[in-house]
Amino acid sequence: MTVARFWRNIPNRYNLIGTHCTTCGEHYFPPRQMCPICRRDGKIEPHKFEGKGEVITYTVIHTAAKGYEMQAPYNLAVIKLDEGPSLTGQVVCGQEEMEIGMRVRSVFRKLGEESEKGMIYYGTKFVPE
Question: According to the binding rule CB under 8 A, does residue 60 interact with another protein?
Answer: yes
Instruction: Establish how many alpha carbons lie within 13 A of residue 33's alpha carbon, considering only the half-sphere containing its beta carbon.
Output: 0
* Contact code string over 68-107 relative to another protein, x by CB under 8 A: x--x--x-xxxx-----xxxxxx----x----x-------
Distance CA(30)–CA(116), nearest Å, equals 29
Nearer to another protein (CB atom), residue 51 or residue 112: 112
Nearer to another protein (CB atom), residue 38 or residue 61: 61
Are the C-beta atoms of residues 91 and 126 closer than 8 Å to each other? yes
Nearer to another protein (CB atom), residue 42 or residue 89: 89
Amino acid letter for position 103:
R
Collect all residues with Cβ–Cβ distance below 8 Å to 27 and sequence separation of at least 6: 18, 19, 20, 21, 47, 49, 81, 83, 84, 85
In sequence order, the β-bridge partners of residue 48 are: 17
Segment interacting with another protein, rule: CB under 8 A, options 19-27, 41-49, 65-73: 65-73
Q: Which of 17, 64, 92, 127 binds another protein (CB under 8 A)?
A: 64
* Contact code string over 6-45 relative to another protein, x by CB under 8 A: ---x--------------------x---------------
* Shortest Cβ 123–another protein spacing (Å): 7
Distance CA(16)–CA(2), nearest Å, equals 21
